[in-house]
Amino acid sequence: DAKTTQPNSMESNEEEPVHLPCNHSTISGTDYIHWYRQLPSQGPEYVIHGLTSNVNNRMASLAIAEDRKSSTLILHRATLRDAAVYYCILATNTGNQFYFGTGTSLTVIP
Amino acid sequence: GAVVSQHPSWVICKSGTSVKIECRSLDFQATTMFWYRQFPKQSLMLMATSNEGSKATYEQGVEKDKFLINHASLTLSTLTVTSAHPEDSSFYICSARDPRQGYNEQFFGPGTRLTVL
């Protein structure tokens, strides 16, 4: 059962930063916050994950609220290739199942 | 990152026939694989967890006799849609966990589009 809430859609101008929010008010202490994205007719791909501290990688940054009840995926400079559906998922580090919510469909405007 | 493949990438079959979809981990051994189904403009729905050498665990509402899952080796899981009907037409996606990774990242296959006529 999905335990996250995301806006259905968002728009961004190309080369501008994008902040994709996710609410997960029922998060437990062992839940990691995972972000995946899915391009049309493809399988999801990993973007980033974190537990408590903010995280950065080559694709994005993840900002996690102090109470961990929400998080924000940050794309620093959106490109047309970033247009996708972004999913925020909670899962334990040793657990198995991913339950996908509705995700956020990101449109990047040239 | 680890690579997961699926075969076929698309398949069209007649109503009443069975279709087998393969999911392979190419460069790692996966004791656990997952099967998802995705209808157009909808999110992924977890169907079952496939465990090597044991029976799959199906999510509530998924018919185990209709969606047969076999995970006979550490690199291969198969999903067989038996007696397929048009309502089974969907995008089927598998994923696998790489036990070498220190966290619960899942690597997804490219998906298989099934169309039942």
Q: How would residue B103 be classed by pLDDT, with cut points 50, 70 and 90? A: low
Q: Closest CB to A97: pick one of B43, B49, B107.
A: B49
pLDDT in tens, A15-39: 999 999 999 999 988 889 999 999 9
C-alpha closest to that of B48 among B82, B71, B75, B73: B71
CA–CA min distance A98, chain B (Å): 7
User: CA–CA separation, B37 vs B16, rounded Å?
Assistant: 19
Q: Which residues contact B64 (CB under 8 A, 6 or more apart)?
A: B48, B56, B58
Element (H, E) at A75: strand A70-75
Element (H, E) at A107: strand A104-109
pLDDT in tens, A92-106: 766 668 888 899 999
* pLDDT score recorded for residue B101: 75
Contact B97 A94 (CB under 8 A): no
Q: What is the DSSP string of chain B?
A: ---EEEE-SEEEE-TT--EEEEEEESSS--SEEEEEEE-TTS--EEEEEEETTS--EEPTT--TTTEEEEEEETTEEEEEE-S--GGG-EEEEEEEE-TTSSS--EEE---EEEEE-
